Amino acid sequence: MSRIISPQTPASALNDHTEHSAKIFGSPKDRLDFYRREIQYETTILANRTDAYLTAQSFLVIAFASCMSNLNPEWGKLFTLVVPAFLALLGIVSSLNAWPGIRAAYDIIDHWYFKQSQLLRSEPVMGMAFDDSPLFCETESSHKGYRKSLLFSVRTPWLFMLFWILLGAYALYIQIDNPGS
């Protein structure tokens, strides 16, 4: 049974929740292992989403370049005016559709890293497994470290959307500005 914990929740209910949580996680190490597995799982999801997005974008770029190189004298001019513009629009729409899934995975990873860092701060002995040097240093569990590693995935849809806007505008410009050739 799930419970909603609010500021008005009585202390006895919170103690029950803490006891229930202790039963789920036998020790702080079990909790840390759980957080690490969740981070790894969500990172894999983010990588898969980014890979699928980049694959789709690469095919769109190839199709766009092929359409722009059409030299058919009968219908090539109209084709190179219409089809690349639609491909650029498709690239923009796919970027806008990819963004929420990528951002959601990033937010979930951020959540689990936060939980992990709170656990490591609340249980300083956890890092001291075999010697006096901590197992997890601040750079390994800080927001700054992992966020930098996820920036590529988070920025890619916006970069491709800008790329498609510029490329679509350029394709229209060279076709409309130079109608005789």
Question: Looking at per-residue confidence, does 9 or 155 come out higher?
Answer: 155
Tell me if 171 sits within 8 A of 68, measured CB to CB.
yes
Alpha carbon distance, N-terminus to C-terminus of the chain:
72
Across 10-34, average pLDDT: 68
Q: Determine what percent of the chain falls in helix, strand and coil, rounding each to the nearest 5.
A: 80, 0, 20
Across 30-41, average pLDDT: 90
Which of the four pLDDT bands, split at 50, 70 and 90, describes residue 138?
low
pLDDT single digits (tens) 46-105: 999 999 999 999 999 999 999 988 888 888 788 888 999 999 999 999 999 999 999 999
Spans of all domains in the chain: 27-177
pLDDT of residue 135: 52
